[in-house]
A and B are shown apart, each in its own frame.
Chain A
């Protein structure tokens, strides 16, 4: 298994995980020049952009693996998605799900916001 396939395996896990939480999947692996978004879902009135963080090691917390650059890329991609899909006046949220090998995924809602 290479990194790419490992990643997809974890993403599948997360999709199942958020479906159980009541999210509705809109799109997976949205790619754009600005960057990529792992999962786009709907949770009540929120359109949620979900970033999946996986780790083989057992002590790495998902949020710790995200830095400012990554956050900015995700937000940029989100803006691009909203623009190209002509979405306005929509409640938006950024969630992060961390998967550690052998453990239950951890969901962090509203994990980060834009700093403008």
Chain B
């Protein structure tokens, strides 16, 4: 007896069709799975047989062959359990083949017949939507929301095999599940607030500018000055995430297996802070069958690298492609996969190995050579990608004990949203596919960042005095553009420029 059940596999962030072919014939009993299955897929056989036996649905010993077509693409994950089990049931006459027409099935099976969640269901739902000959998707109950947001498909969430059999036999049909994105896209209350941070008004200002324009930023300061505390609060002032961006992010998290019942849809900008012992594969993605790395989990959000010089040199080098292209391409022998990875980079470091260079209250115990070596750990090309450098000095006692507090994150976010809106309009009007000032190239800088005589004079003076390079020049213009946007000013004024110049502290001769 032969049956074919439709299922899906994941490559990168997209799903592709997999035909689960099940052949049951008399002969020396055995169960084999072919089609380049990885270990978890091979183990399917144990789960499927145990479940069938426990549910009294085991058809008795026979020779069962399962082929996962296309047979030359590596298959992974546990999502093939359910389609395989259904194939066996069709072959033994327990369910009709016709009940699974135009239906795609995915799910992990437990030894007692329950159906557990699997990864990538949102992408699978989008595949079903795309395929004309498929209109129904059977998924584990825990994955119902990811599938439910996809328009134009029928989603049937299931908890247990018996439930599914009863549905397929018409005894007790399941109700299709639907949910609107609006319901899932809830307004989030952040548990942290910029108000928690005492003082550091200039750092907060720099962060506001970085958030508004999507500029990468580096914070330099002694230990305990609040760099990490500030960084953790960045998500609370980032511009609101659009629905398309939320879908994109949810798709990536679904494939990474990071969604669950409480978090079935990502409606806030992600904030990822990997430890500096991370490997290059962990940072940009990889593995036997490529999986998203931290840069992709930070897509549409923030990647925070604390203690930047502590990261291995080769790990920082691999950041170049995502920072340049907004995506990362991982190649293996047979396949090449592209993961999105457009994020705002925020990094923090000490000014020197001991941490106190330039600090008025502590003596720096490093030799100039030590300081030079420490700074040199971060390559030129990486520094090139960072628009804003600021110093975050230690907060004075007066500021710490001051009862007066700074602004709420929500106030800052309102300004950031407005500035971002201005940027969207600006680029949309010209039909450009960029969304923030940080993404501007040379042409856009020329088009949108023109300055008057006074401004030109100011810049010339600064360049000569501080020894800025041409690279620094264009960055200053971009930052000034964002500052002007925050000011809701059409043209860039000299005071916008002078503030922007402050944010290139490392470019000044001799560093800080």
Contact = CB atoms under 8 A, between A and B. Distances in A.
A78 B61 CA distance: 15
A1 interface: no
B79 to A, nearest CB: 24
B27 interface: yes
Interface string B57-88: 00011110000000000000000000000000
Given A91-B61, A91-B62, A93-B61, A79 B30 contact: no
Interface string B4-45: 000000000000000000000111111110000000000000
A99 interface: no
A114 B27 CA distance: 10
A92 B27 contact: yes
B29 A94 contact: yes
B347 to A, nearest CB: 53
Interface in B91-126: none
A114 B63 CA distance: 9
B26 A91 contact: yes
Interface in A79-94: 79, 82, 89-94
Contacts of A46: 60-61
A90 B61 CA distance: 11
Contacts of A92: 26-29, 61
A100 interface: no
Interface string A43-80: 00010000000000000000000000000000100110
Contacts of A94: 29, 61
B29 A113 contact: yes
Contacts of B27: 89-92
Contacts of B30: 113-116
A110 B26 contact: no
B31 A90 contact: no
Contacts of B32: 116
Given A110-B61, A113-B61, A89 B25 contact: yes
A75 B31 CA distance: 15
Given A91-B60, A91-B61, A114 B26 contact: no
A73 to B, nearest CB: 14
A36 B469 CA distance: 86
A92 B61 CA distance: 7
Contacts of A78: 28
A75 B28 contact: yes
Contacts of B61: 46, 91-94, 110, 113
B57 to A, nearest CB: 15
Nearest to B25: A89
Contacts of B62: 91
A44 B25 CA distance: 17
A89 B26 contact: yes
A16 B25 CA distance: 31
13 contacts: A89-B27, A90-B26, A91-B60, A92-B29, A93-B60, A94-B29, A110-B29, A110-B60, A113-B28, A113-B31, A114-B28, A114-B63, A116-B30
Given A93-B60, A113-B30, A114-B29, 15 more contacts: A46-B60, A46-B61, A82-B28, A89-B25, A91-B60, A91-B61, A92-B26, A93-B29, A93-B61, A110-B29, A110-B60, A114-B28, A114-B30, A114-B63, A115-B30
Smallest CB-CB A-B distances: 5 pairs: A114-B30, A113-B29, A91-B26, A110-B61, A113-B30
Interface of B: 25-32, 60-63
